[in-house]
Structure 1
């Protein structure tokens, strides 16, 4: 669906184009930049503000925004990259960039990222997936990651006055909060994104690359330590060992009022409060604790990058649009409007007044992405990490279960 100003009538036209092309007396030299954004990535009001401002500052460029659904987007983008009528700018998931770059259809934006966009300050979890063989094809746009959502009332009843800063403190309070009829923490057995953070904190990886070949590495000593911590934390609640966060939906479980903590993106709080309005104002947020108080723990960071197809017609104007979207002014505006994490850790410090977003931004500074293999989607399609976690939680010998899962990851990552 095309949205020209969305609710109003989307995006306006103007005068003077980039590169010195100005208005022709008696005529027009307007160029249209076609943009694909994902459904619900931005609000109508935010897009309206951005469009009006950008077109005023860049006379001669008209923005034409189309919203896409996530379902089926991979095939649609791949086909667009091969066509002669590709959009100028496309929003893609940060972990999807490697797959699109493999097709050879993306513009190399390394120069712009170094010269104009302050790439040295980008969140690694957004920047690294967009960098392929030293070239930057994806420009970080926004991020979201898991935090700990907690019930302030249950914390107060247990005499806990402030959130934990270390893993050891986290285990201690989770055990204290775990009592008959109440979960210290609700953690499903197959929450593999959360496990990934614990593995990274221990110095492990989900998979490693050597000479162009990817190998699963859940069986490494570091990765096994991460699973060991997960198992201990998960024991302080009644989360199902054979289910993920949606089986059953953990926000709905939390909404019953007898769960002290859960690990989720902050937007889950909206679901909780809708299901149980009595919890409104009783929810708090803190970053996933690290091994020491020096920094929060590692977390999987999801979000979006912006790409420019090599065969788009208005590539120079497209770079101007990407530069604006990824620049500090609009990054902060987007973060405050949509409760996203901006693409730079330094910008996250400016969100201190927003408790949930600030906690998320603090964690994002330690954010990581899944292995940067074009085949990683094959791993997630039939995810061997989930049954591995269940096997360990149900008593199977961890090293053996991990080796089997690693072998399946290796097979899935073969080109």
Structure 2
């Protein structure tokens, strides 16, 4: 997800604790009612018949209508509304099917989707998150429906592997991933030049070494310029930790998703590494745990030389808030412990068809249309989002852009940030879920060993429910 979506998702996860406690593919466009056989090579005649057939189909579809819900993306609500207005018009022109759409404010999305998954008003097609939770609370009647046939038709190989888990329950698909988000390292090129550094760090040792060279302090030892900060708005460190744990070779949950997997040397090392950046190496300020700490502002004002975990929409933030920083920073693939292997996380969200739809085939036609490379590229451009589709991410729009191309490279070294279990919306609920509490406590200087032990017990209880 993009940076704004991530911020809202923090709030949504906290709300979700309460809300969750309450509680034959037919292609209408490609197929025709007339079986046209070319027996004499009369291409023009066949072409005319196909056009006539498509016209008949569109006329037959004029009374068909589906409803689509999409979250709001971009800096203003009009961006999502204008996009949906344009693409629904194209869809109607192509198929004759009407689409009513609603763009949801992120602060209302969780409530609306929870109600939709428990018998309330629901769309035919939904831009979902927490898919596993909604599928579980919806049971056999509500929530997202299984669409293995549609996924097979569209093709699963075109999608970035790490994004697929957020569209599945077990081995079954209940959605198709579209928007995605990953995190990279930012560095101030002027600070690097001043310190004699010519390229970004590749591993943890270099990250600490660079951080020390870049950090500046006053006569009393107080940091005046941080060598490294985390992208940790509102003192949230869980997503940073997911990336660092990955870099150390560890994982949050077992492969079968039934128990924790970070009470290990890799888990302890990753959390100790984060704590040491503040309390041992002194390259990040202790005030980083203050909820008012603004990492974007720190970096854009020149008070930090590197920022760990930036999203693709950071450039839009810089252009809006700090135009003077243009060409003074770059993005780089995140370093890992050894310089090899996965070094970041990704987030994705699926488009799903709801079980309550009255017109499954029309809903499927919309999903196929929406998930086409053409529409997905347009969505990426308008919303400043990355895409789960590798073919879209290989478009020159991404590959030839010095900023976006780094994110394309980073997607080759990622693991999923959210875990595909229904309890995840409780496990990682901010600020009081087990993982956010543990990460914040450790960054404040608490014992890594004790916090891990307490958190493992709490999470395993949730997983056993």
Whether 1:222 aligns to 2:266 is: yes
SS of the residue 2:259 aligns to? strand
Deviations 1:167-196 (A, max 9, x none): 333333222212222211122574210111
Tell me if structure 1 keeps the 8 A contact 2:126–2:353: yes
Q: Give the equivalent residue in structure 2 for 1:125.
A: 162
Q: Give the equivalent residue in structure 1 for 2:328.
A: 282
CA distance in 2, matches of 1:85, 1:203: 44
1:10-409 aligned at under 5 Å gives the runs 20=32, 23=56, 29-40=62-73, 43-58=80-95, 60-83=96-119, 86-93=122-129, 96-102=130-136, 103-104=138-139, 105=142, 106-116=144-154, 118-180=155-217, 181-187=224-230, 190-208=236-254, 214-234=258-278, 235-240=281-286, 243=289, 247-262=292-307, 263-293=309-339, 297-299=343-345, 301-350=346-395, 351-365=398-412, 366-381=414-429, 382-409=432-459
Q: How far has the Cα of 1:241 moved from its partner?
A: 6.4
Deviations 1:13-67 (A, max 9, x none): xxx8786577489987431121000122654453344233322222x21121101
CA distance in 1, matches of 2:61, 2:127: 29
CA distance in 2, matches of 1:243, 1:289: 23
CA distance in 2, matches of 1:120, 1:24: 31
CA distance in 2, matches of 1:273, 1:335: 18
Change (3 A) 1:166 1:203: closer
Change (3 A) 1:78 1:394: closer
CA RMSD, 1 decimal: 3.0
Structure 1 portions without partners, runs of 5+? 1-15
Aligned residues: 392
Instruction: Tell me which moved more, 351-360 or 43-52.
Output: 43-52
Deviations 1:64-123 (A, max 9, x none): 110112224233223224448631110012xx000111123322111221222x212322
Instruction: Tell me which moved more, 177-186 or 326-335.
Output: 326-335
CA distance in 2, matches of 1:233, 1:259: 14
Q: How far has the Cα of 1:337 moved from its partner?
A: 3.1
SS of the residue 1:215 aligns to? coil
Change (3 A) 1:186 1:25: closer
Greater helix proportion: 2
Instruction: Tell me which moved more, 189-198 or 23-32.
Output: 23-32
SS of the residue 1:355 aligns to? coil
Tell me if structure 2 keeps the 8 A contact 1:126–1:369: no
Q: Give the equivalent residue in structure 2 for 1:7.
A: none
Instruction: Tell me which moved more, 256-265 or 228-237.
Output: 228-237
Change (3 A) 1:239 1:139: farther
CA distance in 2, matches of 1:307, 1:258: 43
Change (3 A) 1:311 1:278: same
CA distance in 2, matches of 1:26, 1:57: 11
Instruction: Tell me which moved more, 47-56 or 149-158.
Output: 47-56
Instruction: Tell me which moved more, 127-136 or 258-267.
Output: 258-267
Q: Give the equivalent residue in structure 1 for 2:19.
A: none
Tell me if structure 2 keeps the 8 A contact 1:287–1:360: yes
